[in-house]
Chains A and B, each alone.
Chain A
């Protein structure tokens, strides 16, 4: 099975994530779309890992560990990000990103 399949799948998921970020104004949805983009990249990393293992490379475990670290960072990011969104909701009673269009007040 050509690795291009996975590449195109990843591109599709990534671009859907981009579109979501651009089209939606709900901060939580945007956040989820960012997660979607991260997962698209993760999927690609894993596919490449498999590809290189099949091609005879023995150190391909690094790619999977990279995915592991991406998950770690994503988890940390989500915890902080959601805390910020909660704060934002508490102050503005909205999660619309366009409400926060001014630096002051």
Chain B
């Protein structure tokens, strides 16, 4: 099955080509079947590959399709690497991707035929790029996918391109990602310069030889992490992700929650050897991840747009994943990527279902009491909230607990802060849930009349994702339960090379039980508090003051960036445009032209038609030449 791995990205590419080229001629149902079918087929193949990879003792295989770049001693083949990590990501991407494609057939049904096909073409292209990203056997392939998903993200955020704000959001996402991509690109160059190769297996084989504490390794690790920062929305490059919610909700679910934004985590996990050998970069990653988690969670407390809350929640959860990477808990990070993909996709799709029912309304203050009309959405959304909050027995509990436990072993203060973030998560998620689904309906009568449960194409993915959100965690149960950690065993070949450089922190069972109990108890307290506060929410309409206002305005980070980066740049470009270009370059260019014109006007008079003068000039020239050649 492994040799057929090229089919996995190829099928979505085919879907993209058919839908993209035939968008004027295909009917909606055909487009939906092609778009979803290609991803479902890719999922089936991924599943078969996964079962093959799962067998113990599977060695990573590289499938080379063709030579991509051959320059001097640098060989970059177009090759796919099939191993435990990429197989797992294949499953997540194609699995969640399939559900979201099916969901989209219903959600986007009001689009025109052409827009519908365009949407599916972009979505398929995204899946293709994402698969290239995780399948690539070298950093250049990864970069191709990396740029591809960035492009698709841009196209899909600006899908409704007639709205100027959406275009601005798309531009913001694209430009912010460029900053990170530059770091990634420089990192690749440095890798080529240092190792003469970008192929994972070759680079990772050479890295331990350099030894820990090497400056160039730090530089590579930092540059690659800057790339991850942009793609995975970490401080300081996170502000694009909340704005990216301008795209259709399934896009937010697929790209900006479940898959693309985890590319950074994938990259760091893939390069775990490099990072394990650069402990100070790991510390930076942990600090940035934790700071992002706290900042985003605090912003989410006061947001009123249903998708914005989820977006900040995503940023926050990504922060947790980076925290896990930073403390060396690579398995926990990948575990959280997986569970997060399930419950965050579920939450986004649930919010999409709500928005669909509300006729496009996204402000939770105008919702309320929706559980009466939308039972399936209500239940699944509740499951998603419970999972992300970390209620024992659901997937989020296991993955988050693992991260917290590793953080505890790494640093107690960071553990406390991470726990605080987790509590905030529980609070804002249940604030969102109670304001939206309980209490009385606060919208217009027209909206109330329109309220309905969504069709099966929407509820079915919700149910599947809800089930996954519940059971997804059981592949990685903590040791104290006496069950093997399946995921850790499965992924151990990937992270084995970095094991010698990490300091394992073994917590005693009693301590682990204690930590679990503490976080669970506090989370339940938070949920109850949120319930008491928001289950009968009435919009008071008063202005927020103090810290609440700061949070509602997202810590004024956008304004800060505007003031310290955008405005000075604008001023600088204005200066360049008005002063340097007009007075300097234009004047220079025009001056050269004018000078030549003036000079030629003078020189022209030399051609006076007098043969005598010409001969005279010729003789003078001869004399000069003779003097030069004979005497000088």
Contacts and interface: CB of A to CB of B under 8 A. Distances in A.
- Chain A–chain B contact at Cβ < 8 A: yes
Interface of A: 18, 21-22, 25, 97-98, 100-103
A100 B614 CA distance: 13
A16 to B, nearest CB: 13
Contacts of A97: 610-612
8 contacts: A18-B619, A21-B615, A22-B615, A25-B612, A98-B612, A101-B609, A101-B610, A101-B611
A22 B619 CA distance: 9
A22 B615 CA distance: 7
B609 A102 contact: yes
Closest 5 CB pairs of A and B: A101-B609, A97-B611, A102-B609, A101-B610, A22-B616
A98 B610 contact: yes
A98 B611 contact: yes
A18 B622 CA distance: 11
B112 interface: no
A83 B155 CA distance: 80
B608 interface: yes
Nearest to A102: B609
Contacts of A101: 608-611
Contacts of A98: 610-612
B609 A103 contact: yes
Contacts of B611: 97-98, 100-101
Contacts of A18: 619
Contacts of A100: 609, 611
Main secondary structure on B side of the interface with A: helix
A21 B609 CA distance: 16
A97 B608 CA distance: 13
A53 B198 CA distance: 77
A98 B611 CA distance: 7
A22 B622 CA distance: 13
Nearest to B623: A18
Interface in B595-618: 608-612, 615-616
A103 B610 CA distance: 11
A97 B609 CA distance: 10
B378 to A, nearest CB: 95
Contacts of B609: 100-103
Given A25-B612, A97-B611, 12 more contacts: A18-B619, A21-B615, A22-B615, A22-B616, A97-B610, A97-B612, A98-B610, A98-B612, A100-B609, A101-B610, A101-B611, A103-B609
A64 B616 CA distance: 32
Interface string B348-370: 00000000000000000000000
B78 to A, nearest CB: 65
Interface in B449-483: none
Contacts of A103: 609
A6 B389 CA distance: 114
Nearest to A18: B619
A102 B608 CA distance: 8
A21 B613 CA distance: 11
Nearest to A23: B612
Contacts of B612: 22, 25, 97-98
B51 to A, nearest CB: 89
B361 to A, nearest CB: 82
Interface in B230-244: none
Contacts of B610: 97-98, 101
A100 B612 CA distance: 11
A20 B579 CA distance: 60
A25 B608 CA distance: 16
A85 to B, nearest CB: 13
Nearest to A27: B611
A92 to B, nearest CB: 14
A8 B608 CA distance: 35
A101 B614 CA distance: 11
A26 to B, nearest CB: 11
B600 to A, nearest CB: 18
A97 B616 CA distance: 14
A25 B619 CA distance: 16
Contacts of B619: 18, 22
A97 B614 CA distance: 12
B384 to A, nearest CB: 90
A98 B609 CA distance: 8
A103 B616 CA distance: 19
Contacts of B615: 21-22
Contacts of A21: 615
Nearest to A19: B619
A21 to B, nearest CB: 6
B626 to A, nearest CB: 11
A10 to B, nearest CB: 15
Nearest to A24: B612
B627 to A, nearest CB: 15
A98 B613 CA distance: 10
Contacts of A22: 612, 615-616, 619
A101 B607 CA distance: 10
A27 to B, nearest CB: 9
B48 to A, nearest CB: 85
A11 to B, nearest CB: 11
A101 B610 CA distance: 5
Interface in B534-550: none
B567 to A, nearest CB: 63
A21 B612 CA distance: 8
Nearest to A15: B619
A25 B612 CA distance: 7
Nearest to B620: A22
B619 to A, nearest CB: 6
Contacts of A102: 609
A98 B612 CA distance: 7
Contacts of A25: 612
A20 to B, nearest CB: 11
Contacts of B608: 101
A67 to B, nearest CB: 23
A34 to B, nearest CB: 11
A99 B619 CA distance: 21
A81 to B, nearest CB: 14
B618 to A, nearest CB: 9
A86 to B, nearest CB: 18
